[in-house]
Structure 1
Amino acid sequence: MKLNTTDLTSILKASESPVSGLIEINDISIDSRSLRNTKGTLYFAIEGAFHNGHDYIEELIRKEVTYFVVRTVPENVKGKATFFVVEDTLKSLQEFVAYYRTLFDIPVIGITGSNGKTIVKEWLNFLLHPFYNIIKSPKSYNSQVGVPLSVIGINEKHTLGIFEAGISLPGEMAVLEKIIQPTIGILTSIGSAHNEGFENLDQKIDEKLKLFKGVDVLIYEKNESIQKKTASIQSHYDWSFTAEARVRFQHIKDNTYTVNYDANSFSVDFPFSDQASVHNIASCITTLLALGIDTAYIQDKITQLYRVEMRLQVKNGLQQCTLIDDSYSSDYQSLKIALDFLEQQKTHPQKTVILSDILQSGFSDEILYQKVGTLLQNNNINRIIGIGPNISFYLKHLQHFEGFHSTLDFLNHFDLKKFKDETILIKGARSYAFEQIVSELEEKTHETVLEINLNAISHNFNFYKSKLLPETKTMVMVKAFGYGNGSYEIAKLLAFHKVDYLGVAFADEGVALRKSGIKSAIIVMNPENSAFSTMISYQLEPEIYSLPELKTFLTEAKKHSLYEYPIHIKLNTGMNRLGFNDTHFEELIAILESTNSVKVASIFSHLATSDMPEERKFTLQQIKLFQKWSSYLTDQLRIKPIRHILNTSGIFNFPEYQMEMVRLGIGLYGVGNSEQENEKLQNVTTLKTIILQLNDVGEGESVGYGRRFIADKPTKTATIPIGYADGIRRAYGNGKGEVSINGKRAKIIGSICMDMMMIDVTDTGAVVGDEVIIFGEEIPITELALKWETIPYEVMTSISQRVKRIFFKE
Structure 2
Amino acid sequence: MEPLSLEKICDVLQGRLLHASISPKKIWIENIFTDSRRPISGGLFWALEGERWDGHQFLEEVQGMAKAAVVHRVPEGVSSELPLVLVRDTAYALGELASYYRSSFSLPLIAVTGSNGKTTTKEMIGYLLSRYASTLRSPQSFNNRIGVPLTLFSLERGTCFAVVELGASGMGEIAQLCRIARPTAGVLTSIAPAHLEGFRDLEGVMEAKGELLEYLEGAGGPIFINVDNIYCRRMASRYSGEVIGFGISREASIRASELSCSFDGIRFRCGSHVVHLPMLGRHNVYCALAAIAVAQYYGLPAEIWSSWEGFRPPGMRLQPVWRGGICFLNDAYNANPASMVAAIETLGRLPVVGRRVLVLGDMLELGEDTWHYHQELARWIDERFSAVFVVGRHMQAVVEELPSSVDWYSCGTVREVVELLEGFLRPQDVVLLKGSRRMKLEQILLDFAA
**Under a length normalisation based on structure 2, what TM-score does the superposition of the two structures give?**
0.69
For residue 26 of structure 2, what is the aligned residue in structure 1?
Answer: 22
Aligned to 1:56: 58
Equivalent residue for 1:32, pick from 32, 36, 58: 36
> Which residue does the alignment assign to 1:227?
236
Letter in 1 for 2:226: E
SS at match of 2:149: helix
Equivalent position amino acid for 1:718 in 2: R
The one-letter code of the counterpart of 2:53 is H
- Aligned match of 1:282 in 264, 286, 289? 289
Indicate the residue corresponding to 2:175 in structure 1.
174
Residue of structure 2 in register with 1:737 after alignment? none
Q: CA deviation at 1:448?
A: 6.6
Q: 2:326 — aligned with what? A: 447
How does 1:126-275 map onto structure 2 within 5 Å?
126-212=127-213, 213=215, 214=219, 216-222=221-227, 223-231=232-240, 233=241, 235-251=242-258, 259=270, 266-269=272-275, 271=277, 274-275=281-282
Q: Which has the larger radius of gyration?
A: 1
The answer to whether the 8 Å contact 1:692/1:719 transfers is: no
Q: Percent identity?
A: 23
CA 1:240 to 1:777, structure 2 compared with 1: closer, same or farther past 3 Å? farther
Query: SS at 1:76's partner residue?
Result: coil
Alignment of 1:332-371 (within 5 A): none
Which residue does the alignment assign to 1:118?
A: 119
How many Å apart are 1:89 and its aligned residue?
A: 0.5
Instruction: Quickly say closer, same or farther: Cα 1:743–1:108, change in 2 above 3 A.
Output: farther
Contact 1:114 1:191 in 2 (8 A): yes
Q: Aligned runs of 1:390-401 on 2, under 5 Å?
A: none
Amino acid at match of 2:211: K
Question: What is the count of residue pairs matched by the alignment?
Answer: 373
**Superposed, which structure 2 residues align to 1:633-782 within 5 Å?**
718=355, 744-745=380-381, 760-761=383-384, 774-775=389-390
Query: C-alpha separation between the residues in 2 aligned to 1:247 and 1:693?
Result: 28
State whether residues 3 and 24 of structure 1, in contact with CA within 8 Å, keep that contact through their aligned partners in structure 2. Answer: yes
Aligned equivalents of 1:229, 1:186: Cα separation in 2: 15
Q: Is the 8 A contact 1:108 1:160 kept in 2?
A: yes
- Contact 2:70 2:84 (8 Å CA) reproduced: yes
Q: Provide TM-score, normalisation by structure 1.
A: 0.40
Aligned partners of 1:46, 1:148: CA distance in 2, in Å? 13
Q: Which amino acid aligns with 1:217?
A: P
Kept in 2, the 8 Å contact 1:115–1:189? The answer is yes
Measured at CA, do residues 693 and 92 of structure 1 come closer, stay the same or move farther in structure 2, by a change above 3 Å?
closer
Q: Deviations over 1:346-378 (max 9, x none)?
A: xxxxxxxxxxxxxxxxxxxxxxxxxxxxxxxxx
User: How far is 1:266 from its partner?
Assistant: 2.8
Residue 30 of structure 2 aligns with an amino acid whose one-letter code is: N
- 1:396-437, CA deviations, whole angstroms, 9 ceiling, x for partnerless residues? xxxxxxxxxxxxxxxxxxxxxxxxxxxxxxxxxxxxxxx9xx
Give the Cα–Cα distance (whole angstroms) in 1 for the partners of residues 414 and 226 of structure 2. Answer: 45
- Describe the superposition over 1:67-125 as per-residue Cα deviations: whole angstroms up to 9, x where unpaired: 11111111221624111111100011111111111222221111111111111122222
Q: What residue is the counterpart of 2:313 in the other structure?
A: 308
Unaligned runs of 5+ in 1: 260-264, 313-327, 329-434, 457-688, 696-716, 723-740, 747-759, 767-771
**Gap change, CA 1:26 and 1:799, over 3 Å in 2:** farther
- Structure 1 residues 204-213 or 787-796, which shifts more? 787-796
Task: Map Cα deviations across residues 41-81 of structure 1 (whole Å, 9 max, x no partner).
Answer: 211111112211111112222x4334111111112216241
The alpha carbon displacement at 1:165 in A equals: 1.1
**Aligned 8 A contact 2:47 2:56 in 1:** yes
| Aligned ranges 1:568-647 → 2 under 5 Å | none
Q: Distance in 2 between matches of 1:219 and 1:778?
A: 38
Paired residue secondary structure (2:124): helix
Letter in 2 for 1:795: E
Task: Report the Cα distance in structure 1 between the residues aligned to 2:137 and 2:181, rounded to whole angstroms.
Answer: 11
* CA distance in 2: counterparts of 1:692 and 1:180, whole angstroms: 40
Cα distance in 2 for partners of 1:12, 1:196 equals: 33
Contact 2:225–2:244 (CA under 8 A) maintained in structure 1 = yes
Three-state SS of the structure 2 residue aligned to 1:278 is helix
Task: State the match for 2:373 in structure 1.
Answer: none
After superposition, the Cα gap between the structure-2 partners of 1:6 and 1:743, relative to the gap in structure 1 and judged at 3 Å, is farther
Aligned-residue RMSD, C-alpha: 4.3
Contact 2:112–2:164 (Cα < 8 Å) also in 1: yes
C-alpha deviations, 1:233-266, integer Å up to 9, x for none?
Answer: 3x2212343353444445488877565xxxxx53
Q: Distance in 2 between matches of 1:85 and 1:151?
A: 22
Contact 2:30 2:43 in 1 (8 A): yes
* 1:114-155 deviations in Å (ceiling 9; x for gaps): 111111122222223331111111111112211112121111
Residue aligning to 2:416: 795
How far apart are the structure 2 equivalents of 1:44 and 1:169? 25
Q: Deviations over 1:485-511 (max 9, x none)?
A: xxxxxxxxxxxxxxxxxxxxxxxxxxx
Over 3 Å counting, the alpha-carbon distance change for 1:56 and 1:447 in structure 2 is same
Is this contact kept in 2: 1:137–1:163, CA < 8 A? yes
For 2:97, the aligned partner's letter is F
Cα gap change, 1:257/1:183 in structure 2, threshold over 3 Å: closer, same or farther? Answer: same
Does the 8 Å CA contact 2:120/2:313 hold for their aligned counterparts? yes
> How far is 1:773 from its partner?
6.7
Aligned to 2:429: none
- Give the AA of the match of 1:291: Y
Q: What runs of 5+ residues in structure 2 fail to find an aligned partner?
A: 335-346, 360-376, 400-407, 426-442
The 3 A distance-change label for structure 1 pair 13 and 799 is: farther
Report deviation, 1:307.
Answer: 5.8
Partner Cα distance (2:259, 2:283) in 1? 18
What is the match of residue 363 of structure 2? none
Contact 1:123 1:305 in 2 (8 A): no
